[in-house]
A = this chain, B = another copy of it.
Amino acid sequence: MKLTLAEPKYLKDSISIISDLVNEARFHITPNAVELVAMDPASVAMVVFKLLSSTFVEYELKDPVDIGINLSNFKQVLRRAKPSDTVTMELKNNQLVLTFKGTSVRTFSLPLIDLVEKEQRVPDLVFPLNIVTTSSILNEAIEDVDIVADSVSLQAEHGKFTINAEGDLTKAKIEIAASDDTKIAVDSTSAIKAKYSIEYLKKMIAGSKLSDNVTISFNKDYPLKMEYKVVDKVLLSFILAPRVEND
């Protein structure tokens, strides 16, 4: 296996975001992509990551291979790559060898780890709504509700996406109207409302480093799906379990 990236940004940013949710993970490397499906230790959020072979300037692979990696370790090494470095990944002696080429040649070797847990399967989810908006609008809204509470209500109806949180003291409400920036499609005549953890949403909106746009889907007492995508390059998507309302 020999995979080379001319710009490390997509790999670097993705691993940095994922390592905030998952400690150790199995990468599934196929002729099409470097893929990862992983659950956070509390089994509240799932991460689905795909770095397409078309992002690479060199993609040499005989057979699909699975490798287990400690992600905080991986993140720390990738952080040392400069934006202008080319990054090559190879497997040697049960190690993932990363070579950064710039003014000097720098090599980091990471041990592969055995993962006992079974492979994660991405659940088949069907949603009654789909919202596409700018990453910055969603970031602002999640940061707004973060100062007042630890869970948030999302509500979608025709032409309007509302984000609500009620803390012991302060309440916050953000109304995002459909516009050129925000497309709201709802397959329901009544508003759809669901509740999620702000702590997890905050980690997920870091996906804004990858893409200026985000797609959000959710349903009452049902998971939420959030997706950051760069065509022909990278997909980072999150599935988040609902906070079941007890009111």
Find chain B residues with CB under 8 A from A108 CB: 144, 148, 170-173
Enumerate 7 A-B pairs (CB-CB under 8 Å) in ascending A order: A95-B171, A104-B137, A104-B175, A109-B171, A109-B172, A111-B169, A111-B170
User: Within A136-162, which residues are at the interface with B (CB < 8 Å)?
Assistant: 137, 140-141, 143-144, 147-148
Shortest Cβ distance from A16 into chain B, in angstroms? Answer: 14
Bound: A161/B214 CA distance, A: 46
Q: CB within 8 A of A106: which of B73, B79, B95, B144?
A: B144
Bound: A113/B141 CA distance, A: 26
Bound: A137/B103 CA distance, A: 8
Bound: A110/B80 CA distance, A: 41
Copies, count: 3
User: Within A22-70, which residues are at the interface with B (CB < 8 Å)?
Assistant: 70
Lowest 9 A-B CB distances belong to which pairs? A109-B171, A107-B173, A105-B175, A106-B174, A104-B176, A76-B147, A108-B172, A80-B144, A110-B170
Q: CB within 8 A of A173: which of B106, B144, B148?
A: B106
Contacts A73-B169, A108-B171 known; list 12 others, CB within 8 Å. A70-B169, A80-B143, A80-B144, A105-B177, A106-B172, A106-B173, A107-B172, A107-B174, A108-B148, A108-B170, A108-B172, A110-B169
Report which A residues bind B (CB closer than 8 A): 70, 73, 76-77, 79-80, 95, 103-111, 137, 140-141, 143-144, 147-148, 169-177, 181
Find chain B residues with CB under 8 A from A174 CB: 104-107
Q: Is the CB of B73 within 8 A of A170?
A: yes
Interface centre among A80, A137, A147, A175 (most CB of B within 10 A): A80
Q: CB within 8 A of A104: which of B70, B79, B141, B171?
A: B141
Q: CB within 8 A of A181: which of B76, B103, B170, B175?
A: B103
By beta carbon, the residue of chain B nearest A172 is: B108
By beta carbon, the residue of chain B nearest A179 is: B103
Shortest Cβ distance from A118 into chain B, in angstroms? Answer: 25
Find chain B residues with CB under 8 A from A169 CB: 70, 73, 110-111
Bound: A27/B103 CA distance, A: 39
By beta carbon, the residue of chain B nearest A109 is: B171
Find chain B residues with CB under 8 A from A173 CB: 106-108
Q: Is the CB of B104 within 8 A of A170?
A: no
By beta carbon, the residue of chain B nearest A108 is: B172
Find chain B residues with CB under 8 A from A110 CB: 169-170
